[in-house]
A and B are shown apart, each in its own frame.
Chain A
């Protein structure tokens, strides 16, 4: 008797498999090889672009857990990103030379950021029990303004209007093995901070993706999705709204704060203002999960790569377009304006034509090849 295909789901255990088919396992190996090799050969520019995309992907994964899996819309992500970044500056030694803060190693300040983000997320999660939809969005928008005000006034922690330098090292030691992600040596090759951040950010993307995948495919994940689809019905069948809504806020905010620490490392210096930590940053995260695909893990990652790299791709290739001009006074688009326009068009196009985002397109491609060469 022929063996059933590995992709066939016959039991709960089958359903829980992370990599059920050989193609997925090969894909995982390819990704692991890329993770190890790309930073060794990539130049500083594209290293910088991909490192930022990795940082953004971590934050987007956190938001997707909250908005995509639990159905709690939030525009407060920028507040948690800021919290994480300032934790890195204060506890990671950014201002230690000036006698301010601490000089803890990477693991410790990332942990502090995660706990602090989770604690604030808990407080924000409480009103979410009584609010939903647009009302919840307004509360989270208020959080961004409140946080900005706090960052500007809490000079000990953030440096106030002057801002705060970020850590100049990001060391991780396990036993005798140690690496400084801002100055790593890999396979005997000394790399720059961009390449080091690539390792750190994408390593954390893998950890966070695995964490969210594990939440999503088990009982808590089903509870979160039940809350998203019909919260009252979910409560009637025994899902605790308090536990799951608040937990989603805690985990999502903790992840966002972790992304914030890396954002701080990437920027090198952070000043609290609307440009760096304002509402636009929150909207950008929402755009990433919309374009990538709400409620999917790889959608958040694809969205972060696309939205993160888009401005630079446009900058690099814009000169080939006849309607791109260097002079804002002339007819046509400047590079910056073109980037913003394409960004806006992408969001509209995905919302109207493919609400499931890049993940939806990817699923269709997969489905096509599953049936190939038959069309039925």
Chain B
């Protein structure tokens, strides 16, 4: 009887020793979790990972959606060439055209939600807002391709880059330090969530930087803006913070030129489109009176490792890709998803819940300077977006028409911005 018990003890000890032996190298190699093979889940068949993209591929907003999606694509092509996520799971994108319409986007979501592990990109504030309740209900995970601050604390979303409020604060700080002190500052913003975010940044920074906003006008997208431009001209504004999309930027500048109204225009990231600088009618106005604020270094700046990596990938996989800030954002967005998927693969769980869990374990999303690093923390409530922006003037013959004046600078005003979310 005693011998039998001793035999059992030896057996148990042997099993424990074997188990420790199997896990020890990983455990003593810095505490990283052992990589398990993730079981098959919707969007992952054991070999390939499928990500969804809901973006405008047609219509006016396609000028943003297409390069952004190309940025996603090129990142994943490069990653797949190295084996894919975890070195062995290539990523495939399932792209659906939203036409920038909520109904079409919701139907696209319903079409592919069961075939993807997560959504790499969902473009459009209203579209993200409509999809968000479904994501919450179905425990999905998506990357919003807008810089609204309202996404920051949403556990089902993967925001990237500094919000519009931060851009507004940084450009106002730059303006105040570069001849704008005491000048009459006004704002022109589109009448929606994006416009409200830009104006929120302006209002908050006006308190920190102690300037007054003399006049604020709003406009409906793609409408006639003569009256609004007239109001700003009549108010003798010397600087105008512009919160618009490229189509409206062009018509606003045309109206300004028509009225011989030449304020310093400070345009947020989405105001700009490559090619504006060469426009026969408006080009010189941009060069003389327009300053842009956005994300990351100038296109082609090889001194920034993140940009160098992107350019190398562009050269290898899309040599025809023209310099484009939306492309760079799409590339950064895919980079963010990659970091989360890598973690999910390490955890051996590519399910929707597994990806959401992985997003709380990545700590900080790093982009080597392509965009600012984003602290994700242990829960969505811990997230803290980057506070840096790049200020650029407009120049002909440089990539995107943007020549950086200051790269990745975070002003005190931007650091003090309170973000709702």
Contacts and interface: CB of A to CB of B under 8 A. Distances in A.
Interface string B18-50: 000000000000000000000000000000000
Q: Does more than half of chain A's interface fall in helix, strand or loop, or is it mixed?
A: helix
A161 B100 contact: no
A339 to B, nearest CB: 8
Contacts of A336: 56-59, 97, 99
B196 A162 contact: yes
19 contacts: A152-B191, A161-B192, A161-B196, A162-B150, A168-B133, A193-B137, A266-B106, A268-B130, A268-B133, A271-B125, A271-B192, A273-B192, A275-B100, A275-B101, A275-B126, A276-B102, A311-B99, A328-B58, A335-B57
B57 A326 contact: yes
Contacts of A161: 191-193, 195-196
Interface in A127-170: 152, 161-163, 165-166, 168
Interface stretch (A14-22, A46-54, A114-122): A46-54
A44 B114 contact: yes
B115 to A, nearest CB: 11
A267 B130 contact: yes
A78 B59 CA distance: 22
B220 A274 contact: yes
A237 interface: no
B97 A269 contact: no
B110 A194 contact: yes
Contact of A274 (B113, B130, B196, B221): B221
Contacts of A126: none
B126 A49 contact: no
B192 A328 contact: no
B2 interface: no
Nearest to A44: B110
A163 B107 contact: no
Given A269-B132, A271-B193, A339-B99, 17 more contacts: A44-B114, A48-B107, A161-B195, A162-B196, A165-B129, A268-B106, A268-B134, A269-B126, A269-B130, A269-B133, A271-B129, A275-B126, A326-B57, A334-B58, A334-B62, A336-B56, A336-B58
B103 interface: yes
Interface string B279-301: 00000000000000000000000
Contacts of B213: none
B207 interface: no
Interface string B61-103: 0100010000000000000000000000000000001011111
Contacts of B113: 44
B104 interface: yes
A190 interface: no
Contacts of B195: 161
Given A267-B102, A269-B133, A334-B57, A163 B193 contact: yes
A315 interface: yes
Contacts of A337: 58
Nearest to B127: A269
Interface of A: 44-45, 47-49, 52, 152, 161-163, 165-166, 168, 193-194, 266-269, 271, 273-276, 311-312, 315, 326, 328, 334-337, 339
B193 A267 contact: no
A339 B100 CA distance: 14
Interface of B: 56-59, 62, 66, 97, 99-104, 106-107, 110-111, 113-114, 125-126, 129-134, 137, 150, 191-193, 195-196, 220-223
A273 B124 CA distance: 13
A311 B102 CA distance: 13
Contact of A49 (B107, B130, B131, B193): B107
Given A152-B191, A161-B195, A274-B220, A45 B110 contact: yes
Given A44-B110, A163-B129, A315-B97, A328 B191 contact: no
Nearest to B96: A315
A276 B133 contact: no
B107 A312 contact: yes
A266 B133 CA distance: 11
A210 B101 CA distance: 32
B55 to A, nearest CB: 12
Q: Which 9 A-B pairs have the closest CB atoms?
A: A336-B58, A334-B58, A269-B129, A44-B110, A268-B133, A45-B111, A336-B99, A48-B110, A271-B126
Nearest to B221: A274
Nearest to A334: B58
Contacts of B129: 163, 165, 268-269, 271
Nearest to A335: B97
A101 B318 CA distance: 52
Nearest to B199: A161
A161 B192 CA distance: 5
Contacts of A328: 57-58, 62, 66
Contacts of A165: 129, 133
Nearest to A163: B129
A261 to B, nearest CB: 16
A307 B345 CA distance: 44
A166 to B, nearest CB: 8
A194 B133 CA distance: 13
